[in-house]
């Protein structure tokens, strides 16, 4: 923030202490080129005051925005209903496409893993885990 003449601060501070009808606007410091270059000089405030203003405006704006953008309850519920199909469609199907993360080596849908297999065989469980993190989570290289 650029330096500003002290008298400006005095003038603006005075405005806060005297009644409005007593203000002599002719005393108002004229706006110079330098003022426009650093527009903040038009507001004779300290950096701390400026930051406080900025936070205030930001806070108010966010609160207003949050009031405007309320979660759409109906839409959220419908998406959750769609999610109810997720286990049936993606985790339990008898047949699975070759890209299904539950399909065993060889891309063969015959080998789709089931809950019971994941619980009984540590190797299947490891495979399931790796398929989740490699496939669904997309591994370090290209997806």
Partner 1 sequence: MLEYFWHAYKVLDRNRLRLLNPNFSLDYLDLQMEREGVKNRHDRRMVIDSLKMARNLDIWDNNITLYTLDRVRNGKITEVYKALVHKGDRGLHGIGPKRASVFIRDIVMIWKLEKHLNTDEDFITCVPIDTHVRRTCERAGIRVDSVITPSNDEESDLLLKKAIIDACKSLGVSPLLFDAGAWMLGMARDRVKINREIMGGKPVIRGRRIPVEQILRKLDAGILPDDIISDHPKLTLDDIRAAQVFAAGYLANEEL
> Considering the rule CB under 8 A, would residue 18 count as an interface residue with partner 1?
no
Contact by Cβ (8 Å): 96, 112? yes
- By CB under 8 A, tell whether 64 contacts partner 1: no
Q: If binding is defined by CB under 8 A, does position 84 make contact with partner 1?
A: yes
* CB nearer to partner 1: pick between 19 and 106: 106
Quote the CA–CA distance of 129 and 143 in Å, as a whole number.
17
Nearer to partner 1, 17 or 140 (CB): 140
Residue 6 is a binding residue for partner 1 (CB under 8 A) = no
End-to-end CA distance of the chain: 47
Report yes or no: 123 and 134 within 8 Å, Cβ to Cβ. Answer: no
Output 14 or 78, the one with its CB closest to partner 1: 78
φ, ψ (nearest 5 deg) of residue 31? -85, 125
Secondary structure letter of residue 41 according to DSSP = G
What does the binding site for partner 1 look like in residue numbers (CB under 8 A)?
58-59, 62, 65-66, 69-87, 89-93, 95-100, 105, 107, 115, 118-119, 121-123, 125-143
């Amino acid at each position: 923030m650029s330096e500003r003449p002290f008298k400006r601060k005095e003038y603006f501070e005075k405005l806060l202490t005297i009644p409005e009808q007593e203000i002599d606007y002719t005393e108002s410091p004229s706006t110079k080129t330098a003022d426009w270059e650093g527009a903040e000089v038009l507001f004779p405030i300290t950096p701390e005051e400026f930051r406080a203003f900025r936070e205030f405006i930001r806070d108010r704006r966010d609160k207003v925005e949050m009031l405007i953008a309320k979660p759409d309850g109906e839409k959220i519920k419908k998406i959750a209903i769609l999610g109810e199909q997720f286990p049936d469609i993606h985790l339990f199907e008898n047949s699975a496409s070759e890209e299904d993360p539950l399909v065993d080596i060889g891309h063969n849908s015959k080998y789709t893993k089931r809950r019971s297999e994941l619980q009984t065989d540590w190797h299947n469980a490891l495979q399931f885990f790796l398929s989740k993190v490699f496939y669904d989570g997309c591994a370090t290289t290209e997806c």
